Structure 1
Amino acid sequence: MSRNHTNGSQQQLDWLHRYSQSPEQQQALYRRTLGVVSVSQVFGGAGLAAGVTVGALLAQQMLGTDAYAGVPSALLTLGSAGAALLVGRLSQRYGRRTGLTIGFMLGGVGAIGIILAAVWSSVWLLFAALLIYGSGTATNLQARYAGTDLASSKQRATAVSMTMVFTTFGAVAGPNLVNVMGNVALSLGIPALAGPFILAAAAYLLAGLILFVMLRPDPLMIAEMLRIQGLQPSAHPAHNRTTPLENKKGIIAGATIMVVTQVVMVAIMTMTPVHMQHHGHGLGEVGLVIGFHIGAMYLPSLVTGLLVDKLGRAVMAVASGVTLLLAGLVAAFAPADSMILLIVALCLLGLGWNLGLISGTALIVDSTEASTRAKVQGSVDVLIALSGAAGGALSGMVVAGSSYPVLSIAGGILSLLLIPVVIWSRSSRQPV
């Protein structure tokens, strides 16, 4: 054991020496890291799609009421809050590889627990498993940071967006396999609504395995070594000379942008499947709408990243607020039997979330350095997850007490808070 530990430490020192001495090797590792994370995101996207698509419907079926249909989303995001903190701390101490691998593996275990809960009709097991399943969601989001560790300030948003683009493939395929996985589940004697979680379990476990095997050397550890040696690449040196107050301001602004977009997106998204079923839409139609929604959450990312890097974080954050407002209005006033308008509303909802997430993430990376980055990122993602939990839990109660249109309009209005946040973030600091 001692010899293995010594060999591992020597290998790490060799890696650090190799990459600290060669900018070309740094760029090669940057590209390789993006490739590995992107591949894992394909499977991570498929894993998270199951809970989004049928989580509320499974709870509705097991509980027999709509009032608590938002509880699965709340528990999933609450579990992702704890996992975000855990993954962030593990990543800061042991590297991205360890933190992300453990997070995805926990997500797979949670998906297996949900399947067992459905088979045994155990509501309490369902709730506990949803908490653990949330680890996959948190890890899927935190993986976006891994690609930024070796990126310059002009590459950061683009690096985030590239990993998110690959999430699209799995995230879109997942909802559209609802009926297929439902039939697979029935053939195994498992309730149909638990079928997508069979896919989720396999996808999360495979994502964790890919990162464990291939994410070497660890990009965060290399970035920290470069920072210590004063070699961290930066296209804007001014970003490295900001005062602690300006860094704190950037963190607060980035976190607030992502929190608001998460609340609005989760609240409207959670109740859309229930709203559709109340108006005669089948499970296949629900899967189609959610598939378009998740595609809009991730597919625009490559273009979004380029725009955030070129036009600035603030401009795209305002665009996020306006897009989410439009999404809320379309969802509120669209006829319930109109699949096209529901798809438009959910696509706008996904796009608004995408704009907010990438601009907010870039602000967080701009405002941190490798020695504290993963820890801060994990803490910020806790806030995002908790806000999503609140949005998911309250969404069902709002709809039960009023209506889906009221929920959608309220979400759209809330998104306008991004404008004063951006104005505040730009005061007494360099434009972002």
Structure 2
Amino acid sequence: MPYTVWGLALAQALLTTGNILLVAVSALIGKQLASHPALVTAPVASQFLGLILATLPAAFLMQKLGRKKVFIIGNVFGIIGAAVAIQALLISSLLLFTLGIFLTGIAIGIAQQYRFAALDECAKDVHPKAISVVMSGGVLAAFIGPNLAIWSQQWFAQNVYVGAFVGLAGLYVLALILIIVLPLKSNTVNAAAAQTDVRSYGALFQQPLLVAATVSGAIGYGVMVFLMTATPLAMHHHDYAFPDIAVVIQWHVLGMFVPSFFTGHLIKRHGLKPIILLGCALLIISAIINLFGQSYYHFFTALLLLGVGWNFTFIGATQLVSLAYRPQEKGKVQGMNDFLVFSTAAVASLFAGQTVETIGWMWVNLISLPLVAMAMLLIAKSRTQA
């Protein structure tokens, strides 16, 4: 495996650490600053808004400017976003905090291309393993992120959450330095090639491969975000301390990324559809566990399985996408796939807080069940073969 893939995995680890910080504190900060329950997860939703608005431009810019330059731009957005969030916390402004999280969302959206960049760095026969290696960077983040969220509460006495965003800015600086020194392939496409036999979106989405990838990626990611965003709020309602919430998030993230060490092998051995369907089944089991109780172990087990289910659906979907385009269509397909996947996640994050605050935690899980079942049905009926 080329060392550039491992470098991308480390960059992914740094940015995922930042994402975990945001997951652990953003909804709680929203609850502290919001004047209405519907606004509690507005910062989380703004993060996904920034993410989805970045996906299509980032994919196209990478074909014009190369991946490295666009990755650098993304990390700069992250640094600026963390600085804005710090100022917002100091003056207790939900609007300014939401803006800061929006800017970090742009950084996260651009960083989603790390997994596609790994495909450019290695031969096609090791693509599943390359995706898994990059995603496995999240294992390091699972240990650093929640602990950083806890430790940083002691850094600034006037506001327990300011330290988290100082740490976030530091992570983006480290990722920026790493991307600068990493010799990534350019990924640029010349103008003549870009205009040759590029299919329309209508023609592209007639492919069962691409439909299956988009459905499994969007619903798998959306349900994961819906339950993950609502869980800290549900635990807070049941008077769990922040360190308990952080540990549950930590194991959730371990569930998201530890399987990456063998997901690629499982896909090669059993095929894409069985692994994606297994991931969907785990998402359903997670929601069912939440319906049976609100003890610490219910939250812990459910979120752990939620992470594993997401891993199988997301890595499987990424591999499906890589089979559904010609070289000159790379930016178009990758960008649109991420746009649809993260648009779904943004909607899920927006309604997660409002749902748990208004109609309750049980309904958060009940709503998830038919969505995942629909994804399973569509994937099972597709004629995709791998």
Structure 2 length-normalised TM: 0.91
What amino acid does structure 1 have at the position aligned with 2:38?
A
What amino acid does structure 2 have at the position aligned with 1:314?
K
Q: Which residue of 2 aligns with 1:389?
A: 346
Q: Which residue of 2 aligns with 1:316?
A: 275
Q: Report Cα offsets for 1:167-219 as digits up to 9, x if no partner.
A: 22124311122221011132xx4x1123222211111222122112213443x
Q: Which residue of 1 aligns with 2:145?
A: 174
Would you say how many aligned residue pairs link Structure 1 and Structure 2? 375
Q: Which residue of 2 aligns with 1:125?
A: 96
Q: Label 1:373 to 1:245 Cα distance change in 2 as closer, same or farther (>3 A).
A: closer
Q: Which residue of 2 aligns with 1:5?
A: none
Aligned pair partner of 1:48 in 12, 15, 19? 19
Task: Tell me which moved more, 150-159 or 114-123.
Answer: 150-159
The answer on whether the counterparts of 1:174 and 1:291 sit within 8 Å (CA) in structure 2 is yes
Q: Report Cα offsets for 1:280-334 as digits up to 9, x if no partner.
A: 1111111111111111111111211211232111111111110100011112222
Note if 1:363 corresponds to 2:320: yes
Counterpart Cα distance in 1 of 2:64 and 2:333? 13
Residue 40 (structure 1) shift: 1.1
Q: Which residue of 1 aligns with 2:200?
A: none
Larger Rg: 1
What amino acid does structure 2 have at the position aligned with 1:166?
G
Residue 86 (structure 1) shift: 2.5
Counterpart Cα distance in 2 of 1:329 and 1:374? 38
Residue 31 (structure 1) shift: 0.8
Counterpart Cα distance in 1 of 2:299 and 2:320? 32
Aligned pair partner of 2:161 in 193, 206, 209? 193
Aligned pair partner of 1:147 in 96, 109, 118? 118
The answer on whether the counterparts of 1:155 and 1:309 sit within 8 Å (CA) in structure 2 is no
Equivalent residues in 2 for 1:2-151, closer than 5 Å: 31-151=2-122
What amino acid does structure 2 have at the position aligned with 1:194?
V
Counterpart Cα distance in 2 of 1:251 and 1:173? 35
Residue 85 (structure 1) shift: 2.0
Counterpart Cα distance in 2 of 1:217 and 1:344? 41
What amino acid does structure 1 have at the position aligned with 2:137?
F
Q: Please, what is the CA RMSD of the aligned residues?
A: 2.0
The answer on whether the counterparts of 2:156 and 2:162 sit within 8 Å (CA) in structure 1 is yes
Q: Label 1:396 to 1:245 Cα distance change in 2 as closer, same or farther (>3 A).
A: closer
What SS does structure 2 have at the residue aligned with 1:67?
helix
Note if 1:210 corresponds to 2:178: yes
The answer on whether the counterparts of 1:293 and 1:349 sit within 8 Å (CA) in structure 2 is yes
Q: Label 1:333 to 1:48 Cα distance change in 2 as closer, same or farther (>3 A).
A: same
What SS does structure 1 have at the residue aligned with 2:230?
helix
What amino acid does structure 2 have at the position aligned with 1:31?
P
Q: Report Cα offsets for 1:199-247 as digits up to 9, x if no partner.
A: 11111222122112213443x35xx69xx8xxxxxxxxxxxxxxx7688
The answer on whether the counterparts of 1:271 and 1:395 sit within 8 Å (CA) in structure 2 is yes
What amino acid does structure 1 have at the position aligned with 2:175?
A
Q: Label 1:199 to 1:247 Cα distance change in 2 as closer, same or farther (>3 A).
A: farther
Q: Which residue of 2 aligns with 1:16?
A: none
The answer on whether the counterparts of 2:2 and 2:122 sit within 8 Å (CA) in structure 1 is no
Structure 2's unaligned 5+ residue stretches are: 194-202
Counterpart Cα distance in 2 of 1:404 and 1:376? 36
Structure 1's unaligned 5+ residue stretches are: 1-29, 229-243
Note if 1:158 corresponds to 2:158: no
What SS does structure 2 have at the residue aligned with 1:148?
helix
Residue 251 (structure 1) shift: 2.0
Residue 128 (structure 1) shift: 1.3
Q: Which residue of 2 aligns with 1:287?
A: 246
Task: Tell me which moved more, 416-425 or 140-149.
Answer: 416-425
The answer on whether the counterparts of 2:77 and 2:103 sit within 8 Å (CA) in structure 1 is yes
The answer on whether the counterparts of 1:58 and 1:194 sit within 8 Å (CA) in structure 2 is no
Percent of matched pairs sharing the same residue: 26
What amino acid does structure 2 have at the position aligned with 1:290?
I
Q: Label 1:309 to 1:246 Cα distance change in 2 as closer, same or farther (>3 A).
A: farther
What amino acid does structure 1 have at the position aligned with 2:372?
S
The answer on whether the counterparts of 1:289 and 1:343 sit within 8 Å (CA) in structure 2 is yes
Q: Report Cα offsets for 1:325-345 as digits up to 9, x if no partner.
A: 0011112222x2x22221110
Note if 1:344 corresponds to 2:315: no
Residue 152 (structure 1) shift: 4.1
The answer on whether the counterparts of 1:174 and 1:196 sit within 8 Å (CA) in structure 2 is no
What amino acid does structure 1 have at the position aligned with 2:313?
G
The answer on whether the counterparts of 1:333 and 1:405 sit within 8 Å (CA) in structure 2 is no
Task: Tell me which moved more, 389-398 or 146-155.
Answer: 146-155
What SS does structure 1 have at the residue aligned with 2:120?
coil
Q: Label 1:80 to 1:171 Cα distance change in 2 as closer, same or farther (>3 A).
A: farther
The answer on whether the counterparts of 1:53 and 1:175 sit within 8 Å (CA) in structure 2 is yes
The answer on whether the counterparts of 2:283 and 2:309 sit within 8 Å (CA) in structure 1 is yes
The answer on whether the counterparts of 1:327 and 1:412 sit within 8 Å (CA) in structure 2 is no
Q: Which residue of 2 aligns with 1:278?
A: 237
Aligned pair partner of 1:403 in 330, 349, 360? 360
Q: Label 1:172 to 1:135 Cα distance change in 2 as closer, same or farther (>3 A).
A: farther
The answer on whether the counterparts of 1:298 and 1:354 sit within 8 Å (CA) in structure 2 is yes
